[in-house]
Structure 1
Amino acid sequence: MLIFSRFKNCFKFPFKIVRTFASQTDDGLLKTPLYDLHLSHGATMVPYAGHSMPMTYAEQSHIESHNWVRQSVGIFDVSHMCQHVFAGQNATKFLEQITPSDLIELEPSRWKLSALMLRTGGILGDTIIAKLGQDGYYIVTNAACKDRDLTFLRFLLESLPGSVDNEVLAGWGLISVQGPKAAILLAKLTDDNLSNLKFGRTAFANFGGNSHFVSRSGYTGEDRFEISLPPAHTLHFTEQLLNRVPVTRLIGLAARNSFRLEAGLCLYGNDIDETTTPVDASLRFIVGKRRLAESGFNGFDTPASTGRREKDGKTEIGRITSGCPSPTLGYNIAMGYVSAINNSDKKKLSSGDNVLIEIRDVKRPAKITKMPFVKPKYYR
């Protein structure tokens, strides 16, 4: 029995899973369901997380793509992410073991940001968890370490035989529609009232007679809808979006990265990894109050690191983990880790302080600032 079908009574529209596996390019990279569409729009394809993904598109620079989404609406193909459904009487217990989130407190039809935690306290990968019903969850895990995450999950699932079911939606599409006109665009394809779907909520919505799982979030800092689609529906759905007014464009990885930096969001492998705790990464908010009091999740007793390290006889006060020119702000921005104390004069460092960043042996002036760099515009 397919897992999603167990929750059809929780929503207005039933949902059915079709098992399909992604095809590959000649060099062994996986294709998303929109691979041919990307090529037809002149995409520059690059290897990313084991997939062939669009970086930019013909006659559309990175900056133009970025600004377009800020002003209108764009479509991001994020089908390289790994989509799961977990269900069963011990599904909540299992997920609370490997994440610090309070999933009992999480209401059905809501989602939250979380992380897969190692027993060492490090982050195996960031994740989104949406509650479908009493014992059912839709989860999106990181693409960059998909095989490792799956091995981790399967190993732990074996310790609870028969009590937790896991369905991986292999080959499914995941389309992100983002920008201030995103809601206007999607409203043209559904009779459902998406204005009731606020930030942090999920629903099944009817698009042309087909029911699709939709969440409202904001990886760019702009209004964002994410739609999970069976492989057979992904291309047609996306083409419908492209052929509607307001005019939309396909947007590649280059703009996706500059958006997430402006929003102050971590990229796994750059800003967070197995050596990083949620406290290190200023992600304490993903740890539920009840979970912190009761403990019991992987890594709950691991202290945060100091953020300082020795290099060539000097003590660094921090390190940059990712950075880029900000198209919205017009200057360079970067994310990194800065120690609370400058060892040279014992001065406490805080937002607004000036520092030097060493880039290729050249010291450049910078200022510590709070994130996000660009104020988000979520629909609440």
Structure 2
Amino acid sequence: MTATGKPSPLYEVHHDLGATFTEFAGWTMPVRYSSDLAEHRAVRQAAGMFDLSHMGEIEVTGSQAGQALDYAVVGTVSTLKPGKARYTMLCAEDGGVMDDLVVYRLAEDRFLVVANAANVTVVAEALTERAARFSGATVTDRSAEYALIAVQGPASPEIVRAVCDADVDGLKYYSAAPAQVTGHDVLLSRTGYTGEDGFELYCAPDHAAEVWAKLAEVGKPHDLLPPGLAARETLRLEAGRPRYGKELSGEGTRSDPGLEG
């Protein structure tokens, strides 16, 4: 398929791997490389490496960043310690879900909000509007500055441990730490969407191909495969994870898919 949407920083890598592409939220992304079943099983039994560069990254900074986010999203994020993350949602005044998010606290005065590809503009605009009442909070869409690679599955700790200088074993679930892979700075988080142990690596788009290649090299003896969006969908369904546009929408509240509490 010819790329008519926005290409991922890893588009050429996927093309060389023989991926079949699909349009998703304005992006051209790999839907599969081989068979959906083989890619699904790789994540459950060994490891899979996903390109999630279509996701959006929005920074909230300043002395009142935590207060602004407490006002803007569901629950309390100002109590997070630096290096910790929380799953939350952005809701409309009527309770409808605008997007589900992961919020990282990178420093006392700096948070990173990760939004779904289809909702980046909506989330950035809503956060900007809600943060406007806090003089010590600034919202900046940094999506163009990040590529995102996820390594998921039972073999993922061994693979990630071999390529980066971070304390992988000490990195707890929903935690994040700065690291280096092939000499490039990454934000390494122990998060994911598959129901398996796994990691997500945020890096500069220009470094994504090199980071991907190193992970692929180290992962090969562990039977790592690159799954596409089709396998990601079946994995998240099997794990009971909701997705915006499916179980989550502006017409339903967070209690509808059983997420209240």
Q: What TM-score do you get using the length of structure 2 for normalisation?
A: 0.93
Map 1:16-35; keep pairs closer than 5 Å: 28-35=4-11
- Could you tell me how far apart the structure 2 residues matched to 1:145 and 1:100 are? 17
Query: Who is 1:124 aligned against?
Result: 98
Instruction: Select 1:201's aligned residue among 144, 160, 175.
Output: 175
Please state if 1:74 is matched with 2:48. yes
Percent of aligned pairs with the same amino acid: 31
Please state if 1:48 is matched with 2:28. no
| Residues 241, 248 of structure 1: 8 Å contact kept | no
| Residues 76, 250 of structure 1: 8 Å contact kept | yes
Measured after TM superposition, the shift of residue 26 of structure 1 is: 7.1
**For residue 18 of structure 2, what is the amino acid of its counterpart?**
G
Instruction: Select 1:226's aligned residue among 185, 194, 200.
Output: 200
Unaligned runs of 5+ in 1: 1-24, 286-380
- Could you tell me how far apart the structure 1 residues matched to 2:139 and 2:245 are? 29
Q: What TM-score do you get using the length of structure 1 for normalisation?
A: 0.65
**For residue 249 of structure 1, what is the amino acid of its counterpart?**
L
Greater share of residues in helix = 2
Query: Who is 2:250 aligned against?
Result: 274
Query: Who is 1:113 aligned against?
Result: 87
Count of aligned residue pairs for this structure pair: 259
Structure 2 residue matching 1:257: 3-state secondary structure: helix
Measured after TM superposition, the shift of residue 138 of structure 1 is: 1.2
Instruction: Select 1:241's aligned residue among 215, 231, 242.
Output: 215
Measured after TM superposition, the shift of residue 191 of structure 1 is: 3.2
Q: Which has the higher contact order (CA 8 A, sep 6+)?
A: 2
Measured after TM superposition, the shift of residue 171 of structure 1 is: 4.8
Larger radius of gyration: 1
- Could you tell me how far apart the structure 1 residues matched to 2:248 and 2:209 are? 33
Measured after TM superposition, the shift of residue 144 of structure 1 is: 2.0
- Could you tell me how far apart the structure 1 residues matched to 2:212 and 2:90 are? 31
- Could you tell me how far apart the structure 2 residues matched to 1:242 and 1:29 are? 26
Query: Who is 1:313 aligned against?
Result: none
RMSD: 1.8
Moved more, 109-118 or 154-163: 154-163
* Residues 1:27 and 1:242: Cα distance change in structure 2 (over 3 Å): closer
Encode CA deviations 1:72-123: one digit per residue, 9 max, x unaligned.
Answer: 1110111100012211122112111121221232222111110011111111
Unaligned runs of 5+ in 2: none
- Could you tell me how far apart the structure 1 residues matched to 2:209 and 2:152 are? 18
- Could you tell me how far apart the structure 2 residues matched to 1:100 and 1:83 are? 18
Instruction: Select 2:118's aligned residue among 136, 139, 144.
Output: 144
Measured after TM superposition, the shift of residue 188 of structure 1 is: 1.4
Structure 2 residue matching 1:124: 3-state secondary structure: strand
| Residues 84, 166 of structure 1: 8 Å contact kept | yes
**For residue 263 of structure 1, what is the amino acid of its counterpart?**
A
**For residue 53 of structure 1, what is the amino acid of its counterpart?**
M
* Residues 1:102 and 1:155: Cα distance change in structure 2 (over 3 Å): closer
Measured after TM superposition, the shift of residue 246 of structure 1 is: 2.3
Query: Who is 1:311 aligned against?
Result: none
